[in-house]
Structure 1
C-alpha cells in the first residue's frame, strides 16, 4: 500500500502542478475566462484514465490462464518502461515545464476554442494513463485490488490538497527534493514490478525457468506474515524468486540507478557553474 501511495502522490502531484501552472498563467495573462476549458480538459483526462484502468482490470477476464499471464506480464514490463521514462523526463524537463506549458497555452488560446481543452487533457492525461497502468501492474504483483487503489487514492488526495495550497500561495514545497527522492524510491518499486512481470511471462510459458529458483526464503519470510506482506506491498518482494527474476531485478536497478545518480550530479554541477558568475 505504501508503494501505491507513493505512486499516487508523485504522479498526482505532477498532474496537479501542471493544472496549477496552467491556471496561474491564465490568471497572470488576464485569461480567466479560459479556466473552464482547462477544467474540462482535466475532467476528460480523469475519465479516460479511469476507463483505461477499468479496461485493464476487467478486460482480460474470461481468457485462459496463460493468456492472462502473458497480457499481465507484457503490460507490467510496458508500465516499467513508462515509469522509467517518466523519472528521467521529469528530472530533465522540470525546470522548463512552466515555459513549455506557457507556449502551448498561448498557441491554443490564439487558435481554435477547443485547443486549450486538448492541451489540458493531454498534459494531465499522460500522467493519468501512466498511473493507471503502473497501479494495475503493482496490484497484480501484490495480488490485491482494493488496497493498492486505496493507497493510490490517498496519495492523489494529498497531492490535490498540496496543489490547492500551492495555488493559493499558502505553502511552498521544495519540489526538486521531493521528486529526487521519490524517483529513487520508484526505481526500486519498478524493479519489483519488472520481476513480477517476468514471473507472469514464465507462468505463461513464454519465458523459461519457472521452477529454477535463485532463492526461497518462504520459511523465514512467510508471504502471509505481516513483514512478508509489508515487503511485498512496498518492494514487490517475492520470497521465492527465480533466477530470471533476480537477474532482471539487478539488470534494471543497477544501470538505472547509476544513470539517475550521474544525471543528478551533472545537473548539480551545471547549476553551480551557472550560479558561480553571479557570486563572483
Structure 2
C-alpha cells in the first residue's frame, strides 16, 4: 500500500499542478468562461485512464497461465520504462512547465476554446495512463489485493487536497525537493517491479534461469512474516532471488539512480529552481 500511495501521490500531484496552472492562468487573464473546457478535458482523461486500467485488469483473464505471465511481464517492463522516462522528463522540464502551459493556453483559447480541453486531456491523460500501467504492474507484483488500489486512491486524494491548497494559496511546499526525492523512491520501486517481472517471464519460460538462485534467505526472512511483507510491499524484495532478477535490479537501479540524481544536481538554478513554485504564485494572483 505504501508504494502505491507514493505512486498515486506523485503522479496525482503532477496532474493536479497542471490543472492548477491552467485554471490560475485563465483566471489571471480574465478568461474564466473557458474553465469548463479544462474540466471537460480532465474528465475525458480520467475516463480514458480508468478504461485503460480496467482493460489491463480484466483483459488477460481468458488466456493461459504462460500467456498471462508473458503479457504481464512485458507490459510491466514497459511500465518501468515509462516511469523512468517520466522522472527524467520531470527533472529536465519542470522549470519551464508553467511557461509552456501558458503558451498552449494562449494558442488554444481562441474561438469556442475547445482546444483547451485537448490541452488538459493530453496533459492529465499522459499522467493518468502512466499511473494506470505502473499501478497495475505494482499491484501484480505484490499479489492480487485491494490494498494497492486503496493505497493509490489515498495518494490521489491527498494529491487533490494538496492541489486545492496550492490553488487557494494556503500551502507552500518545496516542490523541487519533493519531486527529486519521490522520483528517487520511484526508481527503487520500479527496480523491484522489474525484478519481479523478470521472475514472471522466467516462470512463463520466456527467460531462462528460474532455478538458478543468487541467494535464498527464506529462513531468515519468511515471506509470511511482518518484515517479509514490509520488504515485499514497497520494494518487491523476494527472499529467494534468481541471478537474472538480481542482475536486472542492480543494472537498472544503480545507474538510473545515479544519472537521475546527477541530472537534478546539475539542473541550472534560478530564483524559482523547481519551476513548480510558479503554481503557487500564479494561483495566488
Same fold (TM over 0.5): yes
Cα distance 1:31–1:55, how it changes in 2: closer, same or farther (>3 A)?
same
Q: Deviations over 1:173-219 (max 9, x none)?
A: 11001001101111100000011111111111111001111111111
Contact between 2:137 and 2:193, CA under 8 Å: does it hold in 1?
yes
Normalised by the size of structure 1, how large is the TM-score? 0.95
Question: Residue in 1 aligned with 2:85?
Answer: 85
Shift of 1:111: 5.3
Q: CA RMSD in A?
A: 1.5
Tell me how far apart the structure 1 counterparts of residues 86 and 111 of structure 2 sit (CA, whole Å).
29
Corresponding residue for 2:254? 254
TM-score normalised over the length of structure 2: 0.93
In 1, Cα distance between the equivalents of 2:151 and 2:271?
41
The aligned length equals: 273
Q: CA offsets, 1:200-239, max 9 Å, x none?
A: 1111111100111111111111111111111111101111
Tell me the secondary structure at the aligned position of residue 66 of structure 1: helix
Give the match for residue 226 of structure 1: 226
Secondary structure of 2:170's counterpart equals coil
Task: Give secondary structure in 2 for the equivalent of 1:271.
Answer: coil
Aligned to 1:253, what secondary structure does the other structure show?
A: helix
Displacement of 1:256 in angstroms is 0.3
Matched-pair contact (CA < 8 Å) for 2:34–2:113: no
CA distance, structure 2, for counterparts of residue 95 and residue 120 of structure 1: 19
The equivalent residue for 1:271 is 269
Task: Please name the residue that 1:278 is paired with.
Answer: none
> SS of the residue aligned with 1:60?
helix
Once the two structures are superposed, the pairs formed by residues 92-241 of structure 1 within 5 Å of their partners are 92-110=92-110, 113-241=113-241
Cα-to-partner distance string for 1:73-121 (whole Å, 9 max, x where unaligned) = 0011000000000000001111100111111111111256421111101
Tell me how far apart the structure 2 counterparts of residues 273 and 106 of structure 1 sit (CA, whole Å).
25
Query: Which protein has greater RCO, CA pairs closer than 8 Å, 6+ apart?
Result: 2
* Structure 1: gaps spanning 5 or more residues: 276-280
Cα deviation code 1:112-157 (max 9, x no counterpart): 6421111101100000000000000001110033100000100110
Question: Which runs of 5 or more residues in structure 2 are unaligned?
Answer: 274-285
Per the alignment, in what secondary structure is the counterpart of residue 62 of structure 2? coil
Please say if 1:66 is aligned against 2:30.
no
